[in-house]
Amino acid sequence: MIIKRVAIMCGGRSSEHEISCISAQGVLGAIDRSKYEPIVIGIRESDGAWFSLDLQSPFGKKSNGLPCVENGAPVDLRTLGVDVVFPLLHGPYGEDGTIQGLCEMMNIPYVGSGVLASAVAMDKSFAKPIFASNGLSVARGMVLTQQEWKSNQKEAMSRATELGFPLFVKPARSGSSRGTTKVKQADELSAAIEDALSHDPKVLIEVAVVGREIECGVLEINGSLHTSVVGEVRVLGNHEFYDFEAKYLDGSTEFDIPAKISESESVLVQAAAIKAFQALGCEGLARVDFFLTHDGSLIINEINTMPGFTPKSVFPMLWKAQGKSYTEIISILIESALHRRQHVVR
Ligand X SMILES: Nc1ncnc2c1ncn2[C@@H]1O[C@H](COP(=O)(O)OP(=O)(O)O)[C@@H](O)[C@H]1O
Nearer to ligand X, 45 or 206 (CB): 206
What is the contact mask toward ligand X in residues 203 to 242, using x (rule: CB under 6 A)? ---x-xx---x---------------------------xx
User: Does residue 96 interact with ligand X by CB under 6 A?
Assistant: no
Could you tell me the sign of the dihedral formed by the alpha carbons of 36, 41, 45, 48, in that order?
A: negative
Q: Cα angle vertex 305, ends 300, 308, to 5°? A: 100
**Interacting positions 169-198 with ligand X (CB under 6 A):** 170, 174-177, 180
Q: What angle do CA 111, 114, 117 make, to 5 degrees?
A: 125
Contact track, ligand X, 261-290, x by CB under 6 A? ----------------------------x-
Question: Which contiguous run of DSSP H or E holds residue 319?
Answer: helix 314-321
Report, in Å, the least distance between residue 288 CB and ligand X.
11
Kindly state the smallest distance separating residue 130's Cβ from ligand X, in Å. Answer: 16
Is 298 near ligand X (CB under 6 A)? Answer: no
Cβ proximity of 167 and 206 under 8 Å: yes
Peptide bond into 311 cis (omega under 30): no
Instruction: Please give the distance of CA 258 from its chain centroid, rounded to a whole number.
Output: 20
- 8 A C-beta contact, residue 73 and residue 51: yes
- 18 interacts with ligand X by CB under 6 A: no
CA-closest candidate to residue 277, choices 328, 232, 225? 225
Number of helices followed by number of strands (H, E) in the chain: 11, 17
Q: Least distance to ligand X from the beta carbon of 312, Å? A: 17
Least separation in angstroms between residue 84's CB and ligand X is 27
Q: Which residue is nearest to ligand X (CB)?
A: 242
* Candidate residues 302, 309, 316, 324; the one interacting with ligand X per rule CB under 6 A: 302
Q: Are 53 and 59 in contact (CB under 8 A)?
A: yes
**Residue (51 or 168) nearer to ligand X, CB:** 168
Q: Binding of ligand X at residue 301 (CB under 6 A)? A: yes
Task: Determine the Cα–Cα distance for residues 240 and 300; give it in Å rounded to an integer.
Answer: 19
Cβ 141 to ligand X shortest distance, Å = 7
Calculated CA dihedral for residues 262, 279, 172, 242, nearest 10 degrees? 20
Would you say 10 or 138 has its CB closer to ligand X?
138
State whether the Cα torsion 218-332-263-275 is positive or negative.
Answer: positive
Q: 59 or 242, CB closer to ligand X? A: 242
Evaluated on CA atoms 28, 303, 11, 257, the torsion sign reads negative
Among 59, 86, 131, 168, binds ligand X (CB under 6 A): 168
CA distance 267 to 237: 30
Nearer to ligand X, 7 or 209 (CB): 209
Min. distance of Cβ 199 from ligand X in angstroms? Answer: 10
Cβ 247 to ligand X shortest distance, Å: 8
Number of residues that bind ligand X (CB under 6 A): 17
Q: In this complex, which beta carbon is closest to ligand X, that of residue 68 or of residue 209? A: 209
Q: Per rule CB under 6 A, is residue 139 in the interface with ligand X? A: yes
The site for ligand X (CB under 6 A) is made up of: 139, 168, 170, 174-177, 180, 206, 208-209, 213, 241-242, 289, 301-302
